[in-house]
């Protein structure tokens, strides 16, 4: 079904009238299907830019991001994204936020075929109605998955930060994308909520088996969640090191190997920052 | 006795009591209106011109007009009100249909805005009523006043809509696009609803301008009634209490329309958590 993601010789230069910033230069990385990979690095090294390039929200200056025979040049529903400041639509309820991706997807091929076979208005209404019901059911499923069943009709501003990001995750999952790109998704939350959300994410992961590309500032979070951690250098970002973590989840933050690894990564990042 | 005491004590009111707050607002509003009427009364007596009748005579005129109708034009007051209201509603709808999509496009496309701004900035400061002679002559008495209203409402709605699009959180657009939304879908499923509170703000301003336009253009020249037309007619025969009655009707109609717009704006803002 879904394939590994290949980032190949990626280059990205931001140009303004009087300056040029090289964010990436000849950057390559392979991401395995179904893995949770976190990207850490010094501030301003381009972690978010990398996610946006994969999402298709930024255009690479050179190189490609691809999966199977698809080359990603613009955003698509096969790559869901979760934003640090949630980016929920405040004029929509929780339910309607989650349904957004299904609404814009329109009819499935199957439904379109049904209308083409039988041209009547009644058939059209029947199909439209049925697809509306499908949308409700699918959205309901993901709202339940993130544990917001009791808040489906709440408005966005009535939710706490943690709840908002659960909506963000459900909204990204609803299109059944190949991968989820998470841009410091828990960065705006307090430490306690953060830990709850991380544990929740692991549970959701077990049920959906998606490839997750996760950008974070928190080394603790990276060690807690990842199959692999990619440490980037300062700009233009190169891969400094890739660390595999074979330990099962959920992980014990207090265990000696956890703290040792966290310490080592922090030291690596410290070196990058000092060199600035 | 108890009643009086409770009303008096409500001036020294309890902020958390909804009932108290209502009474307080009510008392202050009534006091404000009483001061207004007293001022009017004094000015009428001091100036002593027939063009400023006393509140009492104006009230009598209002009662007569609504009971017997307007003898000069042979129309009832309701017919006059309806004539103005019809023009106002038609102008409002036309202005919205043009200004909202155009405003969204201006917010969306920088090039289009750069191209349109010089032209718009020249036309915008012109008082809409200055167009009345031109519009009335070129499209006639039916559509002329309506188009003056269109001009009046168009600009506030346009600028506020454009401003609203500029204020849109770029993350909303990014989120929509990663959810598979096409550019067109992003336009009407994200930009339009996100701009609604700003559009409503433009509507609130536009409604006020719209009323000024309708009365002024009816005053200038009109056919088939209208409150502005009624005022002009009564002034031309020098029956000033009726002129003032017309002015008060305009005040009430304006108050009602902005009241409705304020309410809709409040409801929408509340739903979006923007209070």
Distance between CA A172 and CA A186 in Å, rounded?
Answer: 15
Average pLDDT, chain A: 86
Distance between CA B263 and CA B201 in Å, rounded?
Answer: 11
- Report residue A104's pLDDT band, with 50, 70 and 90 as the boundaries: confident
With a pLDDT cut of 90, the percent of chain A lying above it is 24
A83–B contact, CB cutoff 8 A:
yes
**Rounded mean pLDDT of B249-259?**
89
Q: Which of A97, A100, A135, A171 to mutate to test the interface with B (most CBs of B within 10 A)?
A: A100
**Minimum Cα–Cα distance from A53: chain B residue:** B178
The pLDDT score that the predictor gives to residue A214 is: 92
Q: What does the radius of gyration of chain B's CA atoms come to, in whole angstroms?
A: 23
**Minimum Cα–Cα distance from A88: chain B residue:** B172
**Minimum Cα–Cα distance from A102: chain B residue:** B179
A185-194, B214-223, B224-233, range with the lowest pLDDT: B214-223
With a pLDDT cut of 70, the percent of chain A lying above it is 92
**Rounded mean pLDDT of B229-241?**
92
With a pLDDT cut of 90, the percent of chain B lying above it is 45
Residue B92 and residue B147 in contact, taking contact as beta carbons nearer than 8 Å: no
**Rounded mean pLDDT of A123-147?**
82
**B174–A90 CB contact, under 8 Å:** no
- Report residue A209's pLDDT band, with 50, 70 and 90 as the boundaries: confident
Distance between CA B172 and CA B86 in Å, rounded?
Answer: 39
Task: Give burial (CB, 10 Å; 0-12/13-18/19+) of A27.
Answer: buried
Q: Chain A contacts of B181, Cβ < 8 Å?
A: 100, 104
Distance between CA B70 and CA B82 in Å, rounded?
Answer: 14
Q: What secondary structure, in 3-state letters, does B54-119 show? A: CHHHHHHHHHHHHHHCECCCCECHHHHHHHHHHHHHHHHHHHHHHHHHHHHHHHHCHHHHHHHHHH
Q: Chain A contacts of B167, Cβ < 8 Å?
A: none
Average pLDDT, chain B: 87
**Rounded mean pLDDT of A144-148?**
87
CA-CA-CA-CA torsion sign (A66, A71, A75, A80)? negative
**A100–B194 CB contact, under 8 Å:** no
Residue A165 and residue A189 in contact, taking contact as beta carbons nearer than 8 Å: yes
**Rounded mean pLDDT of B223-250?**
91
Q: Which pLDDT tens digit goes with each residue over A42-67?
A: 887 888 899 999 999 998 888 888 88
The pLDDT score that the predictor gives to residue B13 is: 61
Q: Say if residue B215's pLDDT is above 70.
A: yes
**Minimum Cα–Cα distance from A176: chain B residue:** B179
A260–B contact, CB cutoff 8 A:
no
**A104–B274 CB contact, under 8 Å:** no
Distance between CA A52 and CA A57 in Å, rounded?
Answer: 5
Q: Which pLDDT tens digit goes with each residue over B147-173?
A: 999 999 999 999 999 999 988 899 999
Q: Which of A51, A87, A154 to mutate to test the interface with B (most CBs of B within 10 A)?
A: A87
Distance between CA B145 and CA A250 in Å, rounded?
Answer: 72
Q: Chain A contacts of B196, Cβ < 8 Å?
A: 91
**Rounded mean pLDDT of A176-184?**
91
Fill in the DSSP letter of residue B236: H
A119-128, A253-262, B210-219, range with the lowest pLDDT: A119-128
Distance between CA A140 and CA A134 in Å, rounded?
Answer: 10
The closest of A276, A56, A47, A44 to A182, measured between CA atoms, is A47
Q: Say if residue B259's pLDDT is above 50.
A: yes
Q: How far is B25 from chain A (nearest CA, A)?
A: 29
Q: Say if residue B11's pLDDT is above 70.
A: no
**A89–B172 CB contact, under 8 Å:** yes
Distance between CA A96 and CA A250 in Å, rounded?
Answer: 32
The minimal CB distance from B179 to the residues A85, A100, A156 is found for: A100
- Report residue B71's pLDDT band, with 50, 70 and 90 as the boundaries: confident
ipTM above 0.85, yes or no: yes
Q: Taking the domains of chain B in order of start, what are their residue ranges?
A: 2-48, 59-271
Domains contained in chain A, CATH given: 5-275 (3.40.50.300)
The pLDDT score that the predictor gives to residue A1 is: 45
The minimal CB distance from A155 to the residues B172, B177, B271 is found for: B271
**Minimum Cα–Cα distance from A91: chain B residue:** B272
Q: Which pLDDT tens digit goes with each residue over B115-146?
A: 998 999 898 888 888 888 888 888 888 888 99
The pLDDT score that the predictor gives to residue B96 is: 94
Q: Say if residue A107's pLDDT is above 80.
A: no
The pLDDT score that the predictor gives to residue B74 is: 86
Q: Which pLDDT tens digit goes with each residue over B180-190?
A: 888 888 888 89
A85–B contact, CB cutoff 8 A:
yes
CB pairs under 8 A between A and B: 76
**A87–B273 CB contact, under 8 Å:** no
Q: Say if residue B5's pLDDT is above 70.
A: no
The pLDDT score that the predictor gives to residue A17 is: 82
The minimal CB distance from A80 to the residues B178, B182, B271 is found for: B178
What's the topology of domain B59-271? Answer: MetI-like fold (1.10.3720)
3-state secondary structure of B273: coil
Q: Say if residue B273's pLDDT is above 80.
A: no
The pLDDT score that the predictor gives to residue B10 is: 53
Q: Say if residue B275's pLDDT is above 60.
A: no
**B180–A157 CB contact, under 8 Å:** no
The pLDDT score that the predictor gives to residue A128 is: 73
Q: Which of B179, B182, B265, B274 to mutate to test the interface with A (most CBs of A within 10 A)?
A: B179
**B189–A83 CB contact, under 8 Å:** no
The minimal CB distance from B169 to the residues A87, A101, A103 is found for: A87
Q: Say if residue B1's pLDDT is above 60.
A: no
**A158–B273 CB contact, under 8 Å:** yes
Q: Select the highest-mean-pLDDT range: A237-241, A272-276, B157-161.
A: B157-161
**B175–A157 CB contact, under 8 Å:** no
**Rounded mean pLDDT of A95-104?**
90
The closest of A184, A157, A180, A217 to A36, measured between CA atoms, is A180
């Amino acid at each position: 079904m879904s394939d590994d993601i290949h980032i190949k010789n990626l280059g990205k230069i931001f140009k303004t009238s009087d300056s040029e910033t090289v964010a990436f230069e000849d950057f390559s990385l392979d991401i395995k299907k179904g893995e949770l990979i976190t990207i850490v690095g010094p501030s301003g090294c381009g972690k978010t830019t990398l996610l946006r390039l994969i999402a298709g929200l930024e255009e690479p200056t050179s190189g490609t991001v691809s999966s199977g025979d698809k080359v990603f040049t613009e955003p698509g529903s096969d790559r869901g994204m979760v934003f640090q400041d949630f980016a929920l639509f405040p004029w929509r309820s929780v339910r309607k936020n989650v349904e957004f991706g299904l609404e814009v997807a329109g009819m499935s091929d199957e439904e379109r075929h049904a209308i083409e076979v039988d041209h009547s208005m009644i058939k059209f209404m029947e199909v439209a109605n049925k697809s509306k019901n499908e949308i409700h059911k699918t959205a309901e499923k993901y709202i339940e998955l993130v544990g917001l069943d009791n808040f489906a009709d709440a408005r966005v501003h009535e939710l706490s930060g943690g709840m908002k990001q659960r909506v963000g995750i459900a909204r990204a999952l609803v299109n059944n994308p190949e991968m989820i790109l998470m841009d410091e998704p828990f960065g705006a939350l307090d430490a306690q909520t953060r830990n709850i959300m991380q544990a929740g994410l692991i549970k959701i992961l077990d049920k959906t088996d998606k490839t997750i590309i996760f950008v974070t500032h928190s080394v603790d979070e990276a060690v807690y969640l990842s199959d692999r951690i990619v440490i980037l250098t300062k700009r233009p970002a190169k891969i400094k090191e890739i660390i595999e973590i074979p330990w099962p989840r959920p992980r014990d933050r207090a265990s000696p190997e956890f703290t040792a690894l966290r310490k080592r990564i922090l030291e690596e990042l410290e070196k990058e920052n000092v060199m600035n | 006795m108890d009643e009086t005491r409770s009303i008096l004590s409500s001036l020294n009111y309890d902020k958390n009591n909804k009932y108290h707050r209502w009474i307080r607002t009510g008392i202050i509003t009534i006091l404000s209106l009483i001061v207004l009427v007293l001022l009017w009364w004094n000015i009428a007596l001091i100036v002593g011109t027939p063009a400023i009748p006393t509140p009492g005579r104006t009230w009598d005129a209002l009662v007569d007009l609504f009971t017997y109708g307007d003898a000069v034009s042979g129309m009832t007051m309701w017919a006059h009100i309806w004539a103005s209201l019809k023009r106002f509603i038609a102008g409002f709808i036309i202005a919205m249909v043009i200004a909202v999509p155009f405003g969204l496009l201006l917010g969306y496309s920088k090039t289009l805005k750069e191209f349109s701004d010089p032209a718009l900035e020249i036309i915008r400061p012109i008082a809409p009523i200055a167009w009345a002679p031109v519009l009335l002559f070129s499209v006639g008495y039916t559509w002329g006043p309506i188009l003056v209203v269109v001009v009046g409402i168009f600009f506030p709605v346009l600028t506020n809509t454009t401003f609203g699009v500029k204020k849109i959180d770029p993350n909303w657009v990014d989120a929509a696009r990663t959810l598979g939304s096409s550019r067109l879908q992003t336009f009407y499923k994200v930009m339009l609803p996100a701009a609604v509170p700003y559009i409503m703000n433009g509507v609130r301003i536009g409604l006020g301008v719209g009323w000024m336009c309708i009365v002024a253009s009816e005053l200038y020249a009109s056919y088939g009634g209208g409150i502005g037309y009624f005022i002009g007619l009564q002034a031309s025969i020098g029956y000033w209490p009726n002129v003032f009655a017309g002015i008060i009707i305009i005040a009430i109609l304006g108050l009602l329309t902005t009241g409705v717009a304020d309410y809709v704006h409040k409801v929408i803002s509340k739903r979006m958590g923007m209070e």
